[in-house]
Homo-oligomer: A and B are copies of this chain.
Amino acid sequence: MAGTIFERTLVTAEAEAAFADAAIVAGMVAFESALAEAEAAEGLIPASAAAAIVAACAEAPFDTEAIVVEARTAGALAIPLVRLLRERVAQRDAAAAAHVHFGSTSQDAIDTALMLATREAVALIDADLVRLVASLEALAAAHRATPMLGRTLLQPAQETRFGVVVESWVAPVRRGRERLASAARDALQVQLGGAVGTLAPLGDRGPAVMRRMAARLGLGAPPSAWHTERDATASLACTVAVLCGSLGKIGRDLSLLSQAEVAEVAEPHAPGRGSSSAMPHKRNPVAALVALSAAARAPHLAATVLAAMPQALQRGLGDWQAELAAWPSLFMAAHGAVQALADACEAGLEVDAARMLANLESHRRALAAATPSSGKPAP
């Protein structure tokens, strides 16, 4: 689990798992394992040391609670993790312990672990975006000719078609999926810079070690360490926030169109779905709720990441940490929103074309009654 209980009700079990405490620690362990392997391959540490480190990394997971507690004083999660890993390695091979984490720094392990978790989250989001896009495209196709009242500033305006409305929902999601793939490609990179980003302890083998690690971990290989170059990650965060905005727009429209007085669209019915503790008859638009909550939270989570960008010199003090703290919530919120909408749309939004027409006719009657016939086209 990840996040407080209020946040957890808005996200998915899968996204929670991606950012769970244990998953992040596992990501740091994967970093250390890949680092040792790569350094041995480049002749920087003995092969036997690497073998001991890799084996220690493959043991049972570390005690995440102990790591959290120690990190509160140390200032970074990787510090207790490296200490515990060294202890483990020393039990296998005393000489190998000194080679753990060689040439690297806390931020290398933490940023890499974050990117590994983020890769999972992006894959989850993408998979549900595919479902959402497919069901909305089918819905748009089915209603290309369904007449409906367009509403601007929440007031009746002129006729549109429900298919046009649904197309205006799906087009930004389709574009958002493309933007997500592109921004993820740029941001999902291994972090390896050592104390000040130069990888000096690795001599001229630094870039080769980094590329080996990237390949091993399935992340991109950056031109250099990005300790305080946060533009690619900030861009990814913003892309997810924009996506949340587009999903929130769908949620907004669903919630408005499913008002009892409008009654043109309803989320599908299922047992327990959208129930009320006070009113058993109620059927609340839960997918809209989840999407709107993501759209309400995402701008502030993205802003936290953006505001943390001017990180001092070779490593941020407080701002990098704020960025880390906000990051998972953004991706979890996005997955919550896209899955909720995809589920609702796949199960089938209930569309009442007759009511759409009735609402449109009702507006036309009101308009005819209110407007003196002028014969002139509305300018």
Are A105 and B296 also in contact (CB < 8 A) when A158-B200, A284-B153, A327-B6 are? Answer: no
Is A10's beta carbon under 8 Å from chain B? yes
Are A277 and B235 also in contact (CB < 8 A) when A152-B313, A157-B196 are? Answer: no
Cross-chain contact of A4 among B300, B319, B328 (Cβ < 8 A):
B328
Q: Mark A342-377, 1 if CB is under 8 A from B, else 0.
A: 000000000000000001001100110011000011
Are A284 and B6 also in contact (CB < 8 A) when A104-B277, A255-B154, A262-B261 are? Answer: no
Q: Are A24 and B2 in contact (CB under 8 A)?
A: no
Are A377 and B307 also in contact (CB < 8 A) when A318-B295, A325-B6 are? Answer: no
Is A68's beta carbon under 8 Å from chain B? yes
Among A122-130, A167-175, A209-217, which stretch is in contact with chain B? A167-175
Q: Are A242 and B235 in contact (CB under 8 A)?
A: yes
In the complex, A310→B247 CA distance in Å? 8
Is A82's beta carbon under 8 Å from chain B? yes
Interface size class of A (residues with CB under 8 A): 35 or more
Is A48's beta carbon under 8 Å from chain B? no
Is A329's beta carbon under 8 Å from chain B? yes
Cross-chain contact of A318 among B179, B224, B274, B292 (Cβ < 8 A):
B292
Is A166's beta carbon under 8 Å from chain B? no
Q: Which chain B residues lie closer than 8 Å to A276 at the CB level?
A: 79, 105-106, 152, 157, 195
Q: Which chain B residues lie closer than 8 Å to A258 at the CB level?
A: 154-155
Among A262-313, those with CB < 8 Å from B are 262, 270, 272-286, 288-293, 295-304, 306-313
Q: Are A75 and B4 in contact (CB under 8 A)?
A: no
Is A206's beta carbon under 8 Å from chain B? no
Give the number of copies in the complex. 4
Interface centre among A99, A228, A290 (most CB of B within 10 A): A228
Q: Are A314 and B194 in contact (CB under 8 A)?
A: no
Q: Mark A236-276, 1 if CB is under 8 A from B, else 0.
A: 00110111111011011101111111100000001011111
Q: Are A286 and B77 in contact (CB under 8 A)?
A: no
Are A150 and B73 also in contact (CB < 8 A) when A292-B310, A309-B246 are? Answer: no
Cross-chain contact of A157 among B1, B164, B308, B314 (Cβ < 8 A):
B314
Q: Which chain B residues lie closer than 8 Å to A139 at the CB level?
A: none
Q: Which chain B residues lie closer than 8 Å to A196 at the CB level?
A: 150-152, 157-160
Q: Are B197 and A278 in contact (CB under 8 A)?
A: no
Cross-chain contact of A5 among B77, B157, B200 (Cβ < 8 A):
B77
Are A242 and B309 also in contact (CB < 8 A) when A77-B5, A288-B317, A314-B150 are? Answer: yes
Q: Mark A15-46, 1 if CB is under 8 A from B, else 0.
A: 00001110011000000000000000000000
Q: Which chain B residues lie closer than 8 Å to A102 at the CB level?
A: 377, 379
Q: Which chain B residues lie closer than 8 Å to A152 at the CB level?
A: 105, 195-196, 276, 282, 284, 313-315
Q: Which chain B residues lie closer than 8 Å to A248 at the CB level?
A: 309-310, 318
Q: How far is the CB of A311 from chain B (nearest CB, A)?
A: 6
Q: Are B5 and A64 in contact (CB under 8 A)?
A: yes
Are A153 and B261 also in contact (CB < 8 A) when A249-B311, A324-B6 are? Answer: no
Given contacts A10-B325, A238-B238, 18 further A-B contacts (CB under 8 A): A4-B24, A5-B21, A74-B274, A101-B277, A150-B198, A153-B282, A154-B256, A158-B198, A159-B196, A160-B197, A165-B314, A171-B229, A242-B309, A259-B259, A260-B363, A295-B318, A300-B307, A302-B306
- Which A-B residue pairs are the 7 nearest by beta carbons? A292-B318, A245-B309, A150-B196, A152-B315, A238-B238, A248-B310, A296-B322
